[in-house]
Structure 1
Amino acid sequence: MTNKNRLFQMLLGLIVVVSAGCSHHNNDAYTQPSEAAGWSDLSPGASVTSEEGYRLLVPQATEGLFPSSIAVARIAQSAYNGGQLVMAMKPEVDFLAWNSVFDDFRGISEVFPLNEKDLDGGEVSADNLLAASEALEAGLMLLYTESQAQFDRCSLSGVLYDVRSRQALAAIHANSLISDPVTPDERVARTASARGCEERDPRLVAINSFESHVRDCLRRLMTKDKSKNVGPIEGWIPTYSVEPLIWPSTYPPRR
């Protein structure tokens, strides 16, 4: 009887171990290996580059562009299929992240993080993403890519578009190079504290810089933007003097 109990305990322990292992495996999300897209992918057919910061690509001021909603899309080159472009967005993360970036920015009224469903089966390209942005009635689109973070460096590059004209308005780039980067052990321990080593994490430093450059770029464009001269709708201006409304009317009928 003792041997049976011992055998039962061993089997029960084995089941618990296997179940725990399976549960851990199921929680691991598969991420398709990918690399950063190039400037030519962000803006096909145009010579678009930028050093650290942003560079305006339009010499003239925009007209009636702000306030505006903005669509945001992050793309990458797949490690398979000859470097085909793929979406690299995580809607459950990017929605909150990018809405937080523009939360107090008066020139942006709404943020639309794009995903594969917005392409309606089409391939990932700047043109198709612009069409998806237009379908969402976004006035601007930020198309960007992120390099694979290394131990001490990371970079992000992006192009800001006017959706209606399909014109590239600005190129934006952020690069981080940390002399004393956070170690793997510190990265694990950082989960215990809310803001442990962000200033030494190359990816977080690059992301924060990129978001800051995007805001500065939009602020510059908004400062230069010219309001459209919208006149009254035809027929709304009466050809006679406007009289106060009195009921019942005490005025003689107009001849």
Structure 2
Amino acid sequence: MYIQRAYKHLAILEEEGRLLPRLSLLANNAYSGKEYNGETTDGQIIITRHMIDKLVVRSFPPCMKQMHKHLRVNHHLKYGARRQYGLFLKGIGLSLDEAMAMMRDEFTKKIPSDKFDKEYGYNIRYMYGKEGRRVPQTAMSCAGIILRNPPSAVDCHGCPFRHCETGLLKQKLASELKKDQVEKITQFAENNQYDKACTRYFEFTHHLEEGGLGQLITHPNQFFEESQKIIAERIAAKKATQGGAEVEKMDTQ
């Protein structure tokens, strides 16, 4: 019995010894990049709740994809997911009214509307700075997500590259990526290089060469923003090509 306990504690110490240097590095180099607080800029597309399902497929990182899927299937999110996902949506520009309507639409598939307003509405308004201290909150960085309380077996928040068992992570990735790509990503995850794992996921799903993004993903909203930039550039290039072809066709007539 004592030997079994000793082995158990030894395993915990080995795990800490493997993880702590990486997590310490994240903690000591706190995210200091762009703050995604939902403020819109000139020319930015106005995001509505009706656009979210398409944006999930095109531009959401895996952590946000899994929470959105959970919301659509179960019509509910626990506090950790509501906060992580809610602040992400706020960060991409979803307004308070749209966020409230989106969550109400889902939650009230299982609970009465007045219960939603009483038990969940306050927290959503709080994130947008309309309750409590009335300070608008910013979206969580990858380091913030990784270092917060890990999800339990029934939760869906957190970082898949950090919190998913390898077999489950491979299963999640297999629906979108080739086998060799899945292996490369899971190798990074197993080595506690979660930023590289997410960056490779971004590059593979956006059909870029490895290293083609030119930077590491360190924030879910950065993932979304860079994805939207690439999509916009490709749409513009396609239109320019089609426009040039039309002009050439007219010249030959």
Normalised to the residue count of structure 2, the TM-score between the two structures is 0.27
- Report which of the two has the higher share of helix: 2
Normalised to the residue count of structure 1, the TM-score between the two structures is 0.27
